[in-house]
A and B are shown apart, each in its own frame.
Chain A
Amino acid sequence: MKLPLVLAFASTLTVACGSGQKEIQNLGSDTMLEVAGALAEAYQKVKPEVVVSVSGGGSGVGIAAVMSGDVDIANSSRKMKEKEEEEARKHGYSPVHTSIGFDGIAIYVHKDNPLPSITLEQLKELFGDGGKLTKWSELGVKLGDDADPVVLASRQNNSGTYEFFREAVLGGDKGRFKANCNNLNGSKDVVDFCAKTKSAIGYSGIAYATDQVRIVPVVKSAGGPPVLPTVATVLDGSYGIRRPLYMITKGAAEGDVKGYLDWIVSDAGQKVLQDKGYIPLRKL
């Protein structure tokens, strides 16, 4: 389902690359594919002589491609793993993570689910291995008998979002998901799943919200106020579940690549990122 998008980006952007033009190859996270594409397109107007071609494939694929010298920038919704850093050092590189913005992870339920708010502790009991919450009635929500067991919408286990939720909500490195999660294959699929399943609860980037689902306000610490994820609440940290998005290069960026990364973190680039539903590095 993602492939046509990838091809569309790759083809439109590489076709535009005529002679005398410089090309920056940008590959990685599927979560960041859309925002990376939008940034590349906007940069065309700023610097027509530099063409950025974007493709997806996953954070891991992007990182591997940068370290083998095939592409210039990897998009990653997670930090490099120890193993990947080690591999990079073996090749004589010292990779640099450039933080380009944040993604708020929203908690989604079916649009008819009246759940007023949820605490981080309750999320851990719902999603975490050994957690005791399994029924909506235990959260004070009546959905009828057949819809009482909570259906958990999670992500496949190598997704950056999965990794992040595990660390932020399920108790750090040691956290594990319950085995009975439905592991969906994309950010959009989680939202779709919650829209079609009355008893589902799931987590996904806030950029993927639709009117078919409801975003549940999250209580960060017991007794605190329920907070909806917005630019303001994610930025000031009052919303509990946010993660940084990275662009990774194999060393300190130089030349055109540096120019592109500098533009992304500038106000102009950050505006593009915010328009795509992500959270900029600072208030614009």
Chain B
Amino acid sequence: MTTAQQPPTPHRGQPAWAAALDTRDRAWWNDLAMRGVVLAGGMSAVLFIVAIFGFIASQGFEFIVNRLDLGELLLGVRWEPTVEPPQYGALPLIAGTGWITAVAMAIAVPLAFGAAIYVGEFARGKQREWLKIGIELLAAIPSVVWGVIGLHVMKPIIQELFGVQVGLNVLNAGIILGLMAAPIMATIAEDALKAVPDSYREAAEALGATKWQVVWKVVLPHARPGLSAAVLLGIGRAFGETIAVLMASGHRLMIPESIFDSAATLTATIAAELGEAAVGGDHYQVLFVLGMLLFLITFAINLTADWIVRGRRSKA
């Protein structure tokens, strides 16, 4: 926007020239305001993380300082917080979370990678678009719906198919979580495949490689960091999921010995018990300690994923 006050033909290097460009018109104020708005948006994420961690830590702080027996918490096998004397052994919960996450990954990784490879390397045109929309829709299904599917659809199927008495178990929760994590993993994995330069594919094809040979020998190895990040983020997703697991896992506070045993997870335990725990009591506080444990684990997983992706970028 030019104004009448603009000085006549200033010369480069003169202060007047710079001052002329530095007019505080509406665009300038707009720029300043919008910069502030997006800065607040960007900072809020960090602020929330810090505030949430601060809150969780403060709720469990007194217990951590005075009564926490870390050995019992991590290795104890009885979780009985409401019986006198209480026992706070979270190993069954940690083991349950680990088992269910492992089953979920065994299901999600082949599904997600298969979907990513097909959509990224084989599908063309309309089909590709439709598949991508389908994957995104799958990611949008609320977790409580998955929980109901576990409770009412998967349970009788598992009981029938494997002849087991209890259909709410590690397998059920693992399948549900696997299906929940797969779409996100597929999306990230596909991005990783897309990042492999086409010239690599063309070079391999020019040497006479088949489509699958190109994928297997060239694209997948090159995309490995991105694919690892996809898996890690999927694990993070499975680790933190609550309501679907609570409904499908059978909530048994014992270290599972097979995939047909019921199990309990850290998240489901917090969800099931926090509502009735006396605020400020030991039980209440120890649930927040579990929350911290969960927070630290998922934080570490996400950081590792981020680090792997960055590692790839800086190398490229």
Residues of chain A having any CB pair with chain B under 8 Å = 57-61, 63-64, 81, 83-84, 87, 146-147, 149, 151, 156-160, 162-163, 166, 173, 175-177, 179-185, 193, 196-200
Contacts and interface: CB of A to CB of B under 8 A. Distances in A.
Contact of B82 (A84, A163, A199): A163
A178 B280 CA distance: 28
B290 interface: no
26 contacts: A57-B275, A58-B275, A60-B277, A63-B278, A83-B278, A146-B165, A147-B165, A149-B165, A151-B166, A156-B272, A156-B273, A157-B82, A157-B83, A158-B82, A158-B272, A158-B277, A166-B83, A179-B252, A181-B252, A182-B262, A183-B253, A184-B251, A185-B251, A185-B272, A196-B156, A197-B165
Contacts, number: 93
Contacts of A179: 77-78, 92, 252-254
A176 B83 contact: yes
Interface string B266-292: 000000110111111101000000000
A60 B252 contact: no
Given A58-B275, A176-B83, 12 more contacts: A60-B276, A84-B278, A151-B165, A151-B166, A158-B283, A160-B276, A177-B80, A179-B78, A180-B252, A181-B253, A197-B166, A199-B165
A111 to B, nearest CB: 15
Most buried by A among B92, B159, B167, B276: B276
A57 B82 CA distance: 18
The 6 closest A-B pairs by CB, nearest first: A158-B276, A58-B276, A58-B275, A60-B276, A156-B272, A183-B251
Interface of B: 77-84, 92, 155-156, 159, 163-168, 246, 250-254, 262, 264, 272-273, 275-281, 283
A182 B165 contact: no
A63 B280 CA distance: 13
Given A149-B165, A183-B264, A157 B80 contact: yes
Interface of B is mostly: loop
Which of B77, B84, B155, B277 has the most chain A CB atoms closer than 10 A to its own CB?
B277
Among A87, A147, A162, A196, chain B packs the most CB atoms within 10 A around the CB of A196
Contacts of B280: 87
Contacts of A60: 275-279
A196 B167 contact: yes
Contacts of B252: 179-183
Main secondary structure of the interface of A (DSSP, over half): mixed
A27 B279 CA distance: 15
B281 A83 contact: yes
Nearest to A175: B83
Contacts of A87: 278, 280
A189 B167 CA distance: 14
A149 B277 CA distance: 32
Nearest to B163: A146
Contacts of A176: 80, 83
A158 B167 contact: no
A108 B168 CA distance: 18
Contacts of A184: 251
Contact of B251 (A61, A149, A156, A160): A156
Among A158, A160, A177, A180: residue with most chain B CB under 10 A: A158
B279 A64 contact: yes
Contact of B84 (A58, A173, A180, A185): A173
A198 B246 CA distance: 22
Contacts of A160: 276
Nearest to B79: A157
Contacts of B272: 156, 158, 183, 185
B267 to A, nearest CB: 13
A157 B81 contact: yes
Contacts of A177: 80
Contacts of B79: 157
A182 B156 CA distance: 17
Contacts of A166: 83
B273 A158 contact: yes
A157 B166 contact: no
Contacts of B262: 182
B241 to A, nearest CB: 16
B276 A185 contact: no
A226 B155 CA distance: 34
Given A180-B254, A182-B262, A81 B81 contact: no
A64 B284 CA distance: 12
Nearest to B268: A185
Contacts of A83: 278, 281
A166 B251 CA distance: 18
A128 to B, nearest CB: 12
Contacts of B80: 157, 176-177
Contacts of A200: 165-166
Nearest to A158: B276
Nearest to B168: A182
A163 B273 CA distance: 13
A156 B276 CA distance: 10
A64 B274 CA distance: 13
A198 B254 contact: no
Contacts of A84: 278
A159 B81 CA distance: 12
